[in-house]
Structure 1
Amino acid sequence: MQRLQALAARVAISGSHHSFRPIARRPVHSSAGSGRSFPVQSLLWGSAFVFATSWVLKDKLHLDAPEDELPEDTRVDPATSIAFPTTLRIPSKVPLPTFTLVGLGVRTVSFLGIKVYSVGFYADLANPNLNIPKSATPDEKIEYIVRNTACVLRIMPTRATSYSHLRDGFMRALQARMRLCQQRGALTQEEEAGAQSPLRKFKSLFPNTPLAKHTPLDILLTAPEGSQPRSLIIRDLGSIQNDWVAREFVMAYFEGAGISPPLKQSVVDSLEPFGR
């Protein structure tokens, strides 16, 4: 009996460090009518499996915290249950500011209302040169922030998608933005000509590879810096340098009701008390 207990302990410890594989064994026949008892080895493996499985499940339950136990420094998109940190720090060789979450919302497409991704808008609200006019309208406050400080759009797909699928949507938004600026007389011929090559490069940055569900895609608009063109940096993919493309990519999210109306409304609500 002591030998059996020692063997069971060794099997259980081994199982806690390695994944289980199906055990190949001969079919077990009922003891009724056969005169043979149930094999001791089967009982031993069964006990070890129950012990090790319960140990693994306990570990998983400990690691996977329920949604109502999320840290206080996150906000959750009510439409998708995707959480966004209230402050964002992006690793970089060049020091970047700590970004503050201004608003978030879901992007939906088609008449079926399919939820494509949640998007959070972050900005460097601690920038000492950022003086948001108190009398400005909500749209003017958003434009003032985009024009005068670094911003980030964090995109979190609600389901598995691909970089190329997102790229196509981004390109349509930029093309629509260019037509609108032309109609308003807000785009010079020089700006339009200068944007063509950066637009082609922007399109080429996105690989034809999958993007897993809930994987963050950060798109950073750098702050203005003298006469240098601003950059639009797609995290881990590359960047383009062009004032119009970089700025208007972000502004496209807030035109009218916005690419994501819930995002636009969330940002408007957050900026209401801002201004000097």
Structure 2
Amino acid sequence: MAAPRRAAMRLLSPRIQYLSRPSTLTTQIRHASSRYSQPTQRTVTTFPGLAGGGESNIHNPLDSRAIRIEHEETKQYHLRRMRFAGMGLLLTMGAMAMVLFSLDLDSIEQAEKKRRGVQLDASNDSNMTFQGKEVQVIGTGDSKRIVATGRGEQIELVETGTSSVPHFPRTIYLPSSSSASSISPSSTDVVGTAQPGWSANPLNVGGQEEYTLVGLGIRTVFWVQVYVVGMYVRSSDITTLQSKLVKQVNPAASALIPSEKDDLREKLLHPEHSREVWGELLQVPGIKTAFRISPTRGTDFGHLRDGFVSGINQRTAEARSLTSSGETEFDSADFGASIQSLKAIFTGGKAQRGSVLILHRDEEGTMDVLYQPLPGEQGKDQEMERLGSVADERVSRLLWFGYLAGKNVSSKATRDGVVDGVMEFVGRPVGSGETMVH
């Protein structure tokens, strides 16, 4: 009996010794006086795996829930890092693209030539010439006039606010007919310079009509200037335009007083009322108008086409939002065919900086697209080309709305310039003479 008992005691002795050791889970308690007098010397010994201990928590390798949570946290962390890195890459690429697009290569080339001592060409003096004619400033202040003189002709100019295309003519001359026969391929028909009866324009004597500038502005994409655009109205239609604008506010007046002009301005800048005002002004048969567009940098007709079509799509979307059924006159198949005709006009070809594109709308709403390249050698004017026409008046109406009416116009500066010009029109009695345009 003694031998088994001794063997059992030997087996139990290590466990008894382990249990007799001081527990590591207990807290060392000091005397009350040292506990409060010297708190910095207090030590607490805890098991390292317990929460709140002085060391990081150790997950149980057999706890599947803890493993899933830790895996998900790690996954989300790396996903956030990837998103931030991707956003940074996209922003960097976008910033580089905008910087490259906004570079004025012509100015850089001119600056490099100047640094090397190379003689600069005449394009560096664009502020002093207009279509090969010398620009002169006459007078100062409110009486200042800017004119371009050359080859027996004098053209009055208006400043645009950009050095790329510094001037627009106050009046231009356009063919009186929308038919293709009105412009001869062999003529010297020139937008903004050729006048009826001018000696250098023998094939179109009396075949052109005068248009007066209403207002202009610069179209920008972000901060990049794209082109200068100005709205013109046939000079003989100014009286009709004045009358319709005045009657929008006061049917019995012949001119608007300041408070009435403010009411009209508010209408012309309102997202919905502006569509009503310009919709009435563009009714057919009606007045003849035109937009003169001059790129501030080299571009192509494809970019111009995309901008025009985008503006039309925005206007059609606005029209649908204003109807209860969502159906408009722009949802028909024939309107889609007219848009395709517009796209077909702008296929291929370059539009140089300072060249001229004319969108001309006649009294029936037919739109002619005319183009004049830059002057050739020795400042000789280039022929005006007819690129094509669109007979559907809805196309030209929506293009006009794109600059003049609706919530988000293509060029806020152009709309503001046109509205300022309109205020000059309605401030004078209906049927009065030439209106000053600012």
TM above 0.5, yes or no, is yes
Equivalent of residue 156 in structure 1, options 288, 291, 294: 294
Match of 2:355, SS state, is coil
Q: Deviations 1:184-216 (Å, cap 9, x if unpaired)?
A: 129854542131100011011112121111000
What is the CA–CA distance in structure 2 between the aligned matches of 1:177 and 1:216, rounded to whole Å?
25
Is the counterpart of residue 118 in structure 1 residue 190 in structure 2? no
With CA pairs under 8 Å and 6+ residues apart, which has the higher RCO, 1 or 2? 1
CA RMSD in angstroms comes to 2.9
Contact 1:257 1:264 in 2 (8 A): no
**Cα separation, partners in 2 of 1:124 and 1:257, compared to 1, 3 Å:** farther
Aligned amino acid, residue 256 of structure 1: K
Deviation at 1:154, TM superposition (A): 0.6
What is the CA–CA distance in structure 1 between the aligned matches of 2:397 and 2:215, rounded to whole Å?
18
Aligned amino acid, residue 146 of structure 1: L
Aligned amino acid, residue 366 of structure 2: S
Aligned amino acid, residue 134 of structure 2: A
Q: How does 1:170-209 map to 2 (within 5 A)?
A: 170-185=308-323, 189-193=328-332, 194-209=334-349
**Cα separation, partners in 2 of 1:190 and 1:106, compared to 1, 3 Å:** closer
Aligned amino acid, residue 210 of structure 2: T
What is the CA–CA distance in structure 2 between the aligned matches of 1:155 and 1:64, rounded to whole Å?
20
**Cα separation, partners in 2 of 1:64 and 1:269, compared to 1, 3 Å:** closer
Match of 1:258 in 2: 409
Match of 1:97, SS state, is strand
What is the CA–CA distance in structure 2 between the aligned matches of 1:150 and 1:106, rounded to whole Å?
23
Is the counterpart of residue 232 in structure 1 residue 367 in structure 2? yes
Match of 1:267 in 2: 418
Aligned amino acid, residue 90 of structure 1: L
Match of 1:75 in 2: 158
Match of 2:353 in 1: 213
What is the CA–CA distance in structure 1 between the aligned matches of 2:387 and 2:323, rounded to whole Å?
33
Q: Give identity over the alignment, percent.
A: 23
Contact 1:146 1:251 in 2 (8 A): no
Contact 1:121 1:154 in 2 (8 A): yes
What is the CA–CA distance in structure 2 between the aligned matches of 1:250 and 1:64, rounded to whole Å?
31
**Cα separation, partners in 2 of 1:165 and 1:142, compared to 1, 3 Å:** same
What is the CA–CA distance in structure 1 between the aligned matches of 2:368 and 2:327, rounded to whole Å?
24
Match of 1:88, SS state, is strand
Structure 1: runs of 5 or more not aligned = 1-52, 54-60, 225-229
Is the counterpart of residue 99 in structure 1 residue 211 in structure 2? yes
What is the CA–CA distance in structure 1 between the aligned matches of 2:328 and 2:400, rounded to whole Å?
21
**Cα separation, partners in 2 of 1:266 and 1:129, compared to 1, 3 Å:** closer
Aligned amino acid, residue 75 of structure 1: V
The number of aligned residues is 211
What is the CA–CA distance in structure 2 between the aligned matches of 1:87 and 1:145, rounded to whole Å?
21
Structure whose alpha-carbon radius of gyration is higher: 2
Match of 1:244 in 2: 394
Match of 1:220, SS state, is strand
Q: Deviations 1:137-196 (Å, cap 9, x if unpaired)?
A: 242554444333111111100011101111111111111111111111298545421311
Aligned amino acid, residue 116 of structure 1: V
What is the CA–CA distance in structure 2 between the aligned matches of 1:97 and 1:146, rounded to whole Å?
19
Deviation at 1:120, TM superposition (A): 0.7
Deviation at 1:257, TM superposition (A): 5.8
Match of 1:249, SS state, is helix
Aligned amino acid, residue 244 of structure 2: I
Q: Which moved more, 1:251-260 or 1:124-133?
A: 124-133
**Cα separation, partners in 2 of 1:133 and 1:209, compared to 1, 3 Å:** closer
TM-score by length of 1: 0.67
What is the CA–CA distance in structure 2 between the aligned matches of 1:272 and 1:257, rounded to whole Å?
21
Structure 2: runs of 5 or more not aligned = 1-118, 120-127, 139-145, 148-154, 184-206, 250-263, 269-273, 371-385, 431-438
Contact 2:320 2:328 in 1 (8 A): no
What is the CA–CA distance in structure 2 between the aligned matches of 1:155 and 1:177, rounded to whole Å?
20
What is the CA–CA distance in structure 1 between the aligned matches of 2:214 and 2:245, rounded to whole Å?
17
Q: Deviations 1:13-55 (Å, cap 9, x if unpaired)?
A: xxxxxxxxxxxxxxxxxxxxxxxxxxxxxxxxxxxxxxxx9xx
Match of 1:178, SS state, is helix
Deviation at 1:261, TM superposition (A): 1.4
Match of 1:89 in 2: 173
Contact 1:77 1:105 in 2 (8 A): yes
Match of 2:225, SS state, is strand
What is the CA–CA distance in structure 1 between the aligned matches of 2:297 and 2:366, rounded to whole Å?
29
Aligned amino acid, residue 344 of structure 2: S
Aligned amino acid, residue 151 of structure 1: T
Q: Deviations 1:235-256 (Å, cap 9, x if unpaired)?
A: 1210111121121111111233
Deviation at 1:132, TM superposition (A): 2.0
Contact 1:117 1:156 in 2 (8 A): yes
TM-score by length of 2: 0.44
